[in-house]
């Protein structure tokens, strides 16, 4: 295209955002600055979403400053992007300030704040905002309830989670989905309420998926319930046999229970499964404006030797402390 206006830039950025190609969104944003094209709300929200996913807090703040400097009205659409970005980048207080500054607050804006509070373990405050949302006449949706349940789980608010889950259909008009059952299975498992979690799963109107049974399995691993762990693992394998995580979980369960023969069996079973692998987790940290990404067993980072030297020292210090 010989001429690129804000609409064409914003459309391309929105497309990359939808495909989760966040680094390309940031590159396009920098190109827009160089081209001296004014940003529209679509481009701004796309950039905020990319910053949220990448943990690019400095660039996210730059977008926020641009909005304030140019007197752009922060509506629910733009406010949702700002709240989501600040919350995911660790600035929950600023996210709350942005939320309060917005006039009309729609469901996505409420959800961005509630999910952010859940991520930060602010369960009691989350419940206060949820009550305010309902009092203001804003009807929650499935994402709202999921965010509240996650927040309750991370804050140990078991009774509150049970109440919301029980009333979500009749009181709030939100249909229970697998993701809600999965969250409750995780919550009950963490709390050691394994039997209650199993009863809930058996009463489900649909077949449990990996997240439902996996949530219960995690609780069994934590609290040493071998019998239910075996049942949960069996269901996970039936649904997703290529998931290597379930074999690792059962290996830990057997090891903690000193059932060495079963431990050997599950390891052999894992090795015999073609293509079985446990997806490596990825962590991201920003230092001095530079993003650093790490995966388990990483050896490609340019400072690998120095990193492992420090980790080994920390590991040695940890054992010396006992």
The string of pLDDT tens digits covering residues 221-244 is 999 999 999 999 999 988 888 878
Rg of the chain taking only CA atoms, in angstroms: 23
How far apart, in Å, are the Cα atoms of 290 and each of 59, 113, 180, 284? 11, 27, 36, 10
Q: How far apart are CA 120 and CA 139, in angstroms?
A: 24
Q: Which residues contact 113 (CB under 8 A, 6 or more apart)?
A: 83, 87, 95, 96, 99, 129
β strands within the chain, DSSP E: 282-287, 290-295
Tokens of residue 153, six digits: 């789980």
Total Cβ atoms within 10 A of residue 254: 21
Average pLDDT by stretches of 10, the chain with 322 residues: 74 89 91 86 93 92 94 94 96 97 95 96 96 96 97 94 96 96 95 96 94 94 93 91 85 90 87 59 60 58 60 53 42
58 neighbors 29 (Cβ within 8 angstroms)? no
Half-sphere exposure of 67 (CA within 13 A, CB side): 22
* pLDDT of 63: 94
Q: From CA 260, how far away is CA 245, in angstroms rounded?
A: 19
Q: Which positions ≥6 away from 317 have C-beta within 8 Å?
A: none
Predicted TM-score of the model (pTM):
0.79
Portion of the chain with pLDDT greater than 90, in percent: 64
Beta bridge partners of 290: 287
């Amino acid at each position: 295209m010989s001429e690129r206006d804000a609409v064409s830039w914003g459309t391309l950025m929105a497309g990359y955002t939808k495909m989760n190609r966040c680094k390309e969104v940031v590159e396009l944003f920098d190109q827009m600055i160089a081209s001296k094209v004014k940003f529209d709300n679509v481009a701004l929200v796309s950039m905020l979403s990319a910053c949220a996913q990448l943990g690019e807090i400095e660039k996210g703040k730059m977008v926020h400053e641009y909005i304030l400097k140019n007197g752009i009205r922060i509506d629910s659409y733009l406010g949702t992007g700002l709240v989501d970005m600040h919350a995911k980048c660790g600035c929950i207080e600023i996210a709350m300030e942005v939320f309060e500054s917005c006039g009309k607050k729609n469901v996505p804006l409420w959800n961005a704040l509630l999910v952010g509070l859940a991520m930060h373990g602010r369960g009691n405050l989350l419940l206060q905002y949820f009550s305010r949302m309902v009092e203001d006449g804003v009807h929650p949706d499935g994402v709202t309830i999921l965010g509240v349940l996650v927040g309750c789980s991370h804050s140990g608010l078991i009774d509150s989670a049970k109440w919301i889950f029980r009333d979500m259909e009749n009181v709030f008009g939100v249909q229970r989905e697998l993701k809600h059952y999965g969250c409750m299975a995780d919550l009950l498992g963490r709390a050691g309420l394994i039997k209650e979690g199993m009863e809930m799963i058996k009463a489900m109107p649909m077949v449990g998926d990996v997240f439902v049974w996996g949530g219960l399995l995690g609780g069994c691993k934590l609290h040493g319930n071998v019998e239910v762990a075996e049942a949960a693992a069996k269901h996970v394998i039936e649904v997703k046999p290529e998931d290597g995580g379930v074999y690792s979980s059962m290996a830990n369960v057997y090891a903690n229970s000193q059932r060495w023969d079963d431990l050997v069996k599950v390891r052999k079973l894992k090795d015999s499964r073609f293509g079985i692998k446990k997806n490596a987790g990825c962590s991201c940290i920003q230092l001095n404006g530079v993003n650093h990404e790490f995966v388990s067993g990483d050896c490609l980072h340019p400072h690998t030797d120095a990193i492992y030297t420090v980790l080994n020292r920390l590991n040695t210090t940890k054992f010396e402390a006992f």
